[in-house]
Amino acid sequence: MKKLWLSLLGVAAAIGLATAAVPSATTQAADNSKTLKVGMEANYAPFNWTQNDASNGAVKIEGASGYANGYDVQMAKKMAKALGKKVVIVKMSWNGLQPALTSGKIDAIIAGMSPTAERRKAIDFTDTYYKSKLTIVVRKDSKWAKKTNINQFKNAKITAQLNTFHYEAISQLKGAIKESAMDDFPAMRVALESGVIDGYVSEVPEGITAKDANPNLTYLKFSNANGFKTNPEDTDLAIGVRKNSSLKAPMNEALSKISQKQRDTLMNNAVANQPSTTSTGNWLVNLLKQYGGMLLQGTGMTLLISLIGTIVGFLIGLLVGIIRTIPRPQTAGKRGLRAVINWLLAVYIEVFRGTPMIVQAAVLYYGAAQAFGINMDRTVAALVIVSINTGAYISEIIRGGITSVDAGQFEAAHALGFTHLQTMLKVILPQAIRNSLPAVTNEFIVNIKDTSVLSVISVSELFFSAETIAGQNFQFFHTYLVVSAIYLIMTFTISRLFRLVERHMAGPKNYNVMNNQMQVVTPKIG
């Protein structure tokens, strides 16, 4: 048992070191820093996408394995050059962009974002850097492919991306059925191809991309009179910056020097350079060859977060277990202190068990930055959230384990003069841990799967990698099939490993005292 405690201590120390070794929290992106941190989805070709190498002027994505490229990336490079700064591309989900900007995690949003009045309430925008036009992407073989007027979409099932003016523009399609908004374009393309929807509202460059990527799709060209009535504020794409940012003026000046012709060239290059999705040969081999590294890295990240999260959560659980079983002290002051601590622990457990981890992650990562200016590393935030969250669950699991230990064990230890801590460490916890091991295994497995929600703070774990890959190759089924196999291999291995540990802790089963008394070796005395 001593060995177990030593190894637990060792693990704890290792975690401490690992946490210290993780690059310290990124410094608050300031207007006067040497870098220009630009946020984008890197999943919205031809404006921005993720690729595996630095070809065609792509830029390395901060804190991840891939490179970003596209119209937005090229524009970001031009802006950085004009400002005399180094460009840094930060990949994050669409809904994470605005909070990341206001909380100072990035300096600018160049992500095909339109300066709507609503957004202007929270952030500032530069002048237009691209002017686009709305279109509808449909299946080539459907009757909608021949429409030339937006009034011809009676009973068509139409959707668009969540939180965009595209979605509001669906109301202009008379008689069309407005489906629920979707998260990203790859998902809409799949929905369209599978017939869940008849079309989605998008902008022309995205339409061109969709058509190139998938020969079954096409986009519609409307004349100005028959097309969508749009607000320039919407179709104009602008660079988002913080309110009153000193970056706005120099950026506007730089933009004014980029002619319409240059912009068209940039867009044409982007459309031409975007990742091709056609492939030949075995899909699995291709997938692994092209994205094996990304999958491996995602798997590693998932394992790291869930392993450390479970171990730290386990230690938290033990600590809470020790504290909550402290016997009622004699003096009123200590009794009061104990009551306060127990109440705090109960609040901790209820809060972290009672709210979704995805919400906790968003609150910690964005909230801490926005409210207190604390800017923490994504991976650190992920480790903290998973650990604290797991700790809340394991505290209750350990409590159950402690309750199931016979009261006589406590009494014997106390009667021998053990302190509470000694009683817990030497006698109670070893038994409680054994009782709770199956439930702890469960927590570990849940963690492996639940780290997928951390994509909300752009942690590049396995699910986030899968989303990125599927967004590039459009092979949703194949990609997610491979990823589910990886998840299954991880969880299955872990459940087997823990079964072995359990068996080891239970001790040998074939030790029959009554029959082999004489075979037990008696050490010599003296």
Closest distance of CB 428 from other proteins, Å: 9
Give 354 or 526: the residue with its C-beta nearer to other proteins.
526
481/466 Cα distance (integer angstroms): 10
Looking up tokens 């404006």 gives 47
Three-state secondary structure call for residue 37: strand
Nearer to other proteins, 278 or 515 (CB): 515
Contact call for residue 513 and other proteins (CB under 8 A): yes
Point out which span in 195-203, 208-216, 355-363, 504-512 binds other proteins (CB under 8 A): 504-512
Tokens of 347: 């609040």
* Nearest residue to 241 via CA among 88, 93, 109, 72: 109
Sole binder of other proteins in the list 3, 121, 331, 332 (CB under 8 A)? 331
CB of 511 to other proteins, least distance (A): 6
Q: For strand 236-241 and strand 49-51, is the pairing parallel, antiparallel, or unpaired?
A: unpaired
The burial class, CB within 10 Å (0-12 / 13-18 / 19+), for 233 is: middle
User: With respect to other proteins, which residue has the nearer C-beta, 171 or 512?
Assistant: 512
* Beta bridge partner(s), residue 240: 109, 125
Residue 5: CB minimum distance to other proteins, A: 12
Q: Are 88 and 72 in contact (CB under 8 A)?
A: no
Closer residue to other proteins (CB): 272 or 506:
506
Q: Compute the least distance from the CB of residue 324 to other proteins, in Å.
A: 20
Give the burial string for 121-156 (b: 16+ CB within 10 Å, else e). eebbbbebbbebebbbbbbeebebeebeebebbeeb
**Shortest Cβ distance from residue 7 to other proteins (Å)?**
16
Side-chain-side CA neighbours of residue 55 (13 Å): 9
What distance in Å separates the CA atoms of residue 233 and residue 228, rounded to the nearest whole number? 14
Q: How far is the CB of 526 from other proteins (least distance, A)?
A: 8
C-beta closer to other proteins: residue 225 or 520 = 520
How many Å apart are CA 128 and CA 131, to the nearest integer?
Answer: 7
Establish if 523 lies at the interface with other proteins (CB under 8 A): yes
Residues in the chain: 526
- CA 84 to CA 228: how far, in whole Å? 39
Whichever of 118 and 406 has its CB closer to other proteins, that residue is: 406
Q: How many CB atoms lie within 10 A of CB 505?
A: 14
Q: Which is nearer to other proteins, 1 or 12 (CB)?
A: 1
Which of these ranges, 39-47, 56-64, 336-344, 512-520, lies near other proteins under the rule CB under 8 A?
A: 512-520
Residues in contact with other proteins, total (CB under 8 A)?
32
Beta bridge partners of 241: 108, 124
> Which residues ranging from 377 to 406 are in contact with other proteins (CB under 8 A)?
406
x/- site string to other proteins, residues 404 to 433, per CB under 8 A?
A: --x-xx-xxxxxxxxx--x---xx--xx--
Is 525 a residue that touches other proteins (CB under 8 A)?
Answer: yes
Contact 238, 132 (CB under 8 A): no
Q: Applying CB under 8 A, does 6 fall inside the site for other proteins?
A: no
* Consecutive H or E run containing 200: strand 199-203
Q: Which CB sits closer to other proteins, 224 or 512?
A: 512
**Residue nearer to other proteins on the CB measure, 20 or 521:** 521
Distance of closest approach, residue 314 Cβ to other proteins, in angstroms: 18
Look at strands 157-159 and 177-178 and give their pairing.
parallel
Cβ nearer to other proteins, comparing 262 with 419: 419
Shortest gap between Cβ of 42 and other proteins (angstroms)? 53
- Minimum CB distance to other proteins, residue 415 (Å): 4
Classified as helix, coil or strand, 268 is helix
Q: Which two tokens stand for residue 10?
A: 């060792």
Q: Is 354 in the site for other proteins (CB under 8 A)?
A: no
Q: Please report whether residue 330 would count as binding other proteins according to CB under 8 A.
A: yes
Give the footprint of other proteins on this chain (CB under 8 A): 1, 330-331, 406, 408-409, 411-419, 422, 426-427, 430-431, 434, 507, 511-513, 517-518, 520, 522-523, 525-526
